[in-house]
A and B are shown apart, each in its own frame.
Chain A
Amino acid sequence: MNMLSDATTRPTAPQASPEAAVQVRGLTRAYGENAVLHGVDLTIRPGEFVALLGRSGSGKSTLLRTLAGLDPAPPGTVQVPAARSVVFQEPRLLPWKRVWRNVTLGLRAPDPRARAEAALAEVGLAHRLTAWPLTLSGGEAQRAALARALVREPALLLLDEPFAALDALTRLRMQELVTALWRAHRPAILLVTHDVDEALGLADRVLMLEHGRIALDLPVELPRPRRHDAAAFITLRERLLAALGVIH
C-alpha cells in the first residue's frame, strides 16, 4: 500500500464534479500589496476529513474564512455547500444566552430546543443545558460550540484550530469526540491546525499551505484509531515536519 504520494505526482487538477463538497479554483486573495493566497485549488469530497497545516501567516486562516463566507471571494472561484458550520479557536458563545439558546441561535428548524438538547447530549453536555456560558470550563465551552455547529446538520464543518487553547488531556478527548461525531454525521471537515500529530491522527488527507500555495497534499491511509507510535505514523510525521522545515 502506497501511503505516500506527492502533490506533484498526484493529479491535482480535479474536474468540476457534483461529488465535491468544496471546490476552490484558482483562489487568489490579497490584502493591499500582500498576496495571501496564490491560485489555490482545493477539492474536498463529501464526508472527507481534511487537515490544513501551515505556519502562521501561510494563509490557512484566510482560506478557512473564505470557505466560511467571512471573507469575500471572486465570483466562481469557490463552491461550498449552503449548510456549513464553523468552530473557532475560541468558543464564541454569547455569554448572555444559556447554553441551549446559544445552540439554537439562528437555527431555522422546527422544535429547536429538542434539537439543541440532542446535540448537547451528543457532545456530553446534557447536564449543562441551562448553564451560563461563562460558567463552563474551556473544554465544555468548546463542546457547546461543537454542538452549535452540529445542530445545523452541516455538509461542511470548518474547524479553525478548535483545540489550540485547550489543555493536553482535554484536547485528546476533544479529538476523539470530533472523530466520533464525524463518523456519526459524515460531514466534510476542514480542520486548520498547527499540530502535525493532530492532523495525522484525525484526517484522511493533510494539506500544507506555504506562501499562499498548497505545497503538499498527503493522503493518510492509516487505520483508525491511529497510534502515534506506529512506524507508518512516524514516517508521515517526519515527512510533514520536513516539509514544514522543522527537521531536515
Chain B
Amino acid sequence: MMSSEATARPRAPSRLHWPAGWRRAAFPLALLALWQGAAAAGFTSPQTMPAPSLILHSFWTLIVTGQLWPNLLISLTRVLAGLAAGVAVGTALGLFAGLTKAGEDTIDPTVQMARTLPHLALIPLMILWFGIGETPKIVIIALGATFPIYLNLFGAIRGADAKLLEAGAVLGLSWRETVWHVVLPAALPGFLVGLRQALGIAWISLVVAEQINATSGIGYLINNARDFLQTDVIFDGLLVYAILGLATDRLVRSLEIHLLAWRPALPHR
C-alpha cells in the first residue's frame, strides 16, 4: 500500500525539535553565556576581554552620546564611494575586455598582472601621492573592489553558453542585440558574485585604511579607544564592522534574488 508509508515508518521522536532559527542561534548564544560567566567569575579582565554586558553597555553609551552615528556615517560613505568607483572601473574594464578582442588583448594581461599585487601594500604610496585625507582611503577601497568585479565579469561574459549564442545567431540577432539579450544577462550572476566579493574586500580595505591617520570613522573610534585602554569600545567598533558587513551583504543578496528571479530554485535561506 502506497499511502501507508507515512504511518508504517513513524518519524523518530526528535529531542531537539526547535525551529531552525533557534537551532542556529543556540551555539553562538551558548558561547556568549560562557563568556559572560567567565567574566563574572573573574577569569578575564575588563582590560583584555570585557564581559558582553559591558560591551553592550558602552555600545549604548556611544549611541546616546552621539559618538557613533557621525563616525559610522563617515565609514559607510568611504566604503560606498570607494565601492562605486571600483565597481564602475571594474565593470567598464570587464565589459571592454569581455566583449572585444582588442579589449582582451590590451587590458586583460595588465589587469591579471596587477591583481597579483596585494592592493593594501600600496597604502604608503597612496599616502605619498594623496596625503592623509579622504582620497587615499577611497582610492584603496576602490582599487580593492575593482579586481573581483573585473575578474568575475570577464569570466562570466566569456563563459556565456555557446549554444544560446548560436540560437541567437539563428534568430537573426545583431551583435548589439546578442550582447544585450544573451551575453549580459548570462553574465549577471557572475557579476553579482563579483559584487559580493568586492563588498567584502571594500570593508577589509576600509578597516586597514582607517588604521592610518584617521580623524573620524569607526577605525578612528577603535584607535582612540586603544590609546585610552577602552577595550569595550574596541569591541564596539568590531561589532559595528560586523553588522555593516552583514547588512551590505544581505543587500546584495536580496538584489540577487530580485534580479535572478528566473532561476527556479535560487539557493537562499
Once bound together, how far apart are the Cα atoms of A183 and B168, in whole Å?
Answer: 27
Is A68 within 8 A of B262, CB to CB? Answer: no
**Closest partner residue, chain A, to B264 (CB atom):** A134
The reply to whether the CB of A88 lies closer than 8 angstroms to some CB of chain B is: yes
Is A70 within 8 A of B170, CB to CB? Answer: yes
B226 to nearest A CB, angstroms?
A: 50
Main secondary structure on chain A at its contact with chain B? loop
Is A105 within 8 A of B173, CB to CB? Answer: yes
Is B173 within 8 A of A132, CB to CB? Answer: no
The reply to whether the CB of A97 lies closer than 8 angstroms to some CB of chain B is: yes
Known: A95-B263, A134-B262, A134-B263. A148 touches B181 (CB 8 A): no
Across the interface, A70 reaches (CB within 8 A) one of B169, B172, B188, B260, namely B169
Interface membership of chain A positions 105-149, coded 1 if the CB is closer than 8 angstroms to chain B and 0 otherwise: 111100000000000000000000000111100000000000010
**Closest partner residue, chain A, to B259 (CB atom):** A96
Please give, as numbers and ranges, the residues of chain A lying within 8 Å of B182 by CB-CB distance.
94
Known: A96-B262, A132-B264, A134-B263. A70 touches B166 (CB 8 A): yes
Please give, as numbers and ranges, the residues of chain B lying within 8 Å of A90 by CB-CB distance.
163
Once bound together, how far apart are the Cα atoms of A68 and B169, in whole Å?
Answer: 10
**Closest partner residue, chain B, to A132 (CB atom):** B262
Across the interface, A92 reaches (CB within 8 A) one of B164, B188, B261, namely B164
Is A88 within 8 A of B163, CB to CB? Answer: yes
Main secondary structure on chain B at its contact with chain A? helix
Known: A88-B163, A90-B163, A94-B185. A105 touches B171 (CB 8 A): yes
**Closest partner residue, chain B, to A85 (CB atom):** B170
The reply to whether the CB of A86 lies closer than 8 angstroms to some CB of chain B is: yes
**Closest partner residue, chain A, to B263 (CB atom):** A134
Once bound together, how far apart are the Cα atoms of A69 and B173, in whole Å?
Answer: 13
The reply to whether the CB of B246 lies closer than 8 angstroms to some CB of chain A is: no
The reply to whether the CB of B34 lies closer than 8 angstroms to some CB of chain A is: no
A25 to nearest B CB, angstroms?
A: 23
Ordered by A's residue number, 30 sampled pairs between the chains whose C-beta atoms are within 8 Å are A69-B169, A69-B170, A70-B166, A70-B169, A70-B170, A85-B170, A86-B167, A86-B170, A88-B166, A88-B167, A90-B163, A92-B164, A92-B167, A94-B182, A96-B186, A96-B188, A96-B262, A97-B181, A97-B185, A105-B171, A105-B173, A106-B173, A106-B177, A132-B261, A132-B262, A132-B264, A134-B262, A134-B263, A148-B171, A152-B171
Closest 7 CB pairs of A and B: A106-B171, A92-B167, A96-B185, A86-B170, A96-B262, A132-B262, A134-B264
Known: A96-B186, A134-B264, A152-B171. 19 other contacts (CB 8 A): A68-B170, A69-B170, A70-B170, A88-B163, A92-B167, A94-B164, A94-B167, A94-B182, A94-B185, A95-B262, A97-B181, A97-B185, A105-B173, A106-B168, A106-B171, A107-B171, A108-B172, A132-B262, A132-B264
Binding site for B on A (CB under 8 A): 68-70, 85-86, 88, 90, 92, 94-97, 105-108, 132-135, 148, 152
